Amino acid sequence: MINVLRSSHPFFFILSSCVLLLAFIAGYGQNTFSSIKGHPFSWLQFIPLFFQYILGALLLFCSGFLINTIVNKSVLFSKNFYLPGLIYISLMLFFPKNGYFHPMAISNLFCILCFSNLIRIYRNESCKNHLFKACCWVILAAVCFPSFSVMFLMSWVSLLIIRPFVWREYLIPVLCLGLLSAYLSVFLLISNSSFNVLPHWLSTKAYYSIKFSNEPLVAVGVFLFITLALSLKIVLFTYGRSTNRFKKIIKLLLLYFILCVFQIAVDVFFFHSICFSVYSAFVPLSILIAFVYMYGKRVWILDWIYVLFIVSIFVFTYLV
């Protein structure tokens, strides 16, 4: 049924993702951006609604395309595979009341760019350039949405997984934070802004709350539980007889997912926020779930599960 999406040609991904984004754009809510002075997204309120939808659709498409690029340049699959990006777009479309242009979607794009630099790190090659870029991208993700600050740990743990200990490399994230602090201080001095920038930044969590009902959450939970369980079984079976490079990338993926779970836990139990960062987990989940669609045996069952998931998005967007 969706065998064309297993094709090694990107045309089918581009076509199907555009169809999905255009099909559900009419049922999506409007993002109301904060007008508080000094808020990271205050300038977005001046963009016309039509262009906000266009930018949001481009944001999701580019994120899905980057995920496919990461997957196809790694050793995860035996051939080019474009379904992970489509799965990511499908998951991001599941909560229509939050709009296409949610700040967490922007942070996800920066985290994808961070991850793309981390998986370019090799054991026997200097990684300072890739590590510095990864840290810069994750800092931008945290600027867009505060709870993504947890992802900063990914840089240090990635070094532990891939590289032998070199103390200079562990100072690079600290250097990035120092540069950010210096730029921020200069900006505040030049613009005569108050130092209430921190409360304004933290207010992002309260202002951009996630809107969802229990039914969509149960539906996406069932889809993720079934496909992830089957995919992890395939990953564990493949892991024992795979190359060291494959094992390290799988560890990085699992690290990404664990940090996303930790991020959600921090939101719920520490900040007591209803805006838990469920969107962040969709990036590693889309790649992990793709294993069952690449290597699964009963293809027609898997295809029907995905089709029913897409139908449920339509139902919750237009009929509920």
Break the chain into its structural domains and give their ranges.
Answer: 3-319
Q: Considering the chain, what is the average pLDDT of its residues?
A: 79
User: If pLDDT is split at 50, 70 and 90, which confidence band does 253 have?
Assistant: very high
**Measured between alpha carbons, how far is residue 163 from residues 133, 159, 166, 259, 287 in Å?**
17, 5, 8, 20, 23
Kindly report which listed range (5-9, 36-40, 200-204) carries the lowest average pLDDT score.
Answer: 36-40
More confident residue, 51 or 120: 120
pLDDT digits (tens, 9 = 90+) for 150-194: 888 898 888 888 887 777 888 888 888 888 878 777 766 666 655
Asked whether the predicted pLDDT for residue 318 surpasses 60, the reply is yes
Asked whether the predicted pLDDT for residue 217 surpasses 60, the reply is yes
| Residue 231 to residue 13: CA distance in whole angstroms | 21
User: If pLDDT is split at 50, 70 and 90, which confidence band does 197 have?
Assistant: low
**Measured between alpha carbons, how far is residue 204 from residues 154, 209, 275 in Å?**
22, 8, 10
Asked whether the predicted pLDDT for residue 267 surpasses 70, the reply is yes
Kindly report which listed range (28-32, 105-109, 129-133, 144-148) carries the lowest average pLDDT score.
Answer: 28-32
* Short-list 244, 200, 220, CA closest to 309: 220
pLDDT at 258: 93
Q: H helices within 192-241, ranges in order?
A: 197-207, 214-239
pLDDT at 286: 92
pLDDT at 320: 63
pLDDT at 66: 94
pLDDT digits (tens, 9 = 90+) for 70-101: 998 888 887 888 889 999 998 888 776 656 67
Identify the H or E element spanning 285.
helix 282-295
Residues near 125 by Cβ (< 8 Å), separated by ≥ 6?
Answer: none
pLDDT at 180: 81
pLDDT at 35: 47
pLDDT digits (tens, 9 = 90+) for 118-153: 998 888 887 888 888 999 899 888 888 888 888 888
Mean pLDDT for 296-306 is 82
More confident residue, 32 or 245: 245
More confident residue, 273 or 106: 106
**Measured between alpha carbons, how far is residue 248 from residues 135, 173, 229, 253 in Å?**
19, 21, 20, 9
Percent of the chain with pLDDT over 70: 77
CA 47 from centroid of its chain's CA atoms: 24
Asked whether the predicted pLDDT for residue 110 surpasses 90, the reply is yes
